[in-house]
Amino acid sequence: MFIPNEYRYEKMIYRRCGKSGLRLPVVSLGLWQNFGSKNSFDNMENMIHTAFNLGIVHFDLANNYGNPYNGSAEENFGKILDRGMRRYRDEMCISTKAGYEMWEGVYGDRNGSRKYLTASLDQSLKRMRLDYVDIFYHHVPDPETPVEETALALDNAVKQGKALYIGISNYNSSQTAEIQKIFRELKTPFIINQPSYSMLNRWIEDDGLDEYAEKNGIGLAVFSPLYQGFLSDRYLNGIPEDSRAMSNTELKKQLDSAMIEKLNSLNEIAVSRGQSLSQMALSWVLSNNAVTTVLAGASSPEQIIQNAECIKKISFCNDEKEKIKNILDVKNSP
């Protein structure tokens, strides 16, 4: 039987999500990868237990997470809850999302309709055997569905007691402002946006999403903080044969000599700070005041432990900030 570490809450930092009453750990566990039906169940369970013992109480899922079929990550998470974790449900923040293609037919493709969102949330709750999720996100904007319909469907999930809070994902600042206006009229507990963000992907700064979120009381839960693994030590000496980038043409194209030089320059700063490159990359994301939590995926319990170490050095001195800015501002060749 799983018995958690009694000192787990002393090991993590928690931030309030926007202007809501909800606090999240600054490092959360994303279940996008490595929680599908082809992965080791023992390893999945060990990762969940390890995270919880570190005070990582936020677990982020989506209806389409899992390999080889959609929903398998939620199913496996439900099994882990059944094997001793469900008694700690009230200590966890469990989030899920819907928006991408999920099942056959016109009602299960990528959309934001009331039909799709309502059915998808019901399916997610059944897979995890939960009465409600803490945060329910619309996963991606749908230009074919009126934003009012999407907002009303999300609001209805709260009114039905199937979600406590509402979030959106992959929405830019103008799209966020548009749907937030409706949420304000409905008095929907809309508290968070989930964008991609990393040292190598700073679109939320150019778009102004981080500034908008901070001014308007919305938290940011950012994903892909290591930019598909670039911001680890895997690519400092080139592209390994067994790496994800080796089999992905687009990623391989980005990992040119200029990018590898940039990664090594960043790694030098990380080493001087007493961190790994991945730890510094997580710390850098968290140094943005608009960010509530970073969604860090993992393939092993050891990786979760390493990721959580980033909280020991979240701040950067002015010299470090300037050096990092100069490195990041150098444009790679097309």
Q: Say yes or no to pLDDT of 334 above 70.
A: no
CA distance readout (Å), 166 to 82, 151, 154, 183? 26, 9, 7, 9
Closest CA to 49 of 13, 15, 77: 77
Distance CA 332, CA 314 (A): 27
Q: What would the two tokens of residue 192 be?
A: 């968070």
Residues contacting 167, CB < 8 A, separation 6+ = 95, 97, 135, 136, 137, 138, 190, 191, 192, 193, 194, 221
Closest CA to 132 of 169, 158, 100: 158
Q: What would the two tokens of residue 230 be?
A: 């670039």
pLDDT of residue 244: 66
312 vs 239, higher pLDDT: 312
Q: Say yes or no to pLDDT of 245 above 90.
A: no
pLDDT of residue 195: 98
- 179-190 per-position pLDDT tens digit: 999 999 999 999
What ranges in 108-221 are assigned the alpha helix state H?
Answer: 114-128, 147-159, 173-186, 203-207, 209-215
- 268-310 per-position pLDDT tens digit: 999 999 999 999 999 999 999 999 999 999 999 999 999 999 9
Cα pseudo-dihedral 299, 305, 307, 310, rounded to 10: 180
- 25-59 per-position pLDDT tens digit: 999 999 999 999 999 999 999 999 999 999 999 99
**CATH class held by domain 13-229+279-310:** alpha beta
Q: What would the two tokens of residue 258 be?
A: 């200029």
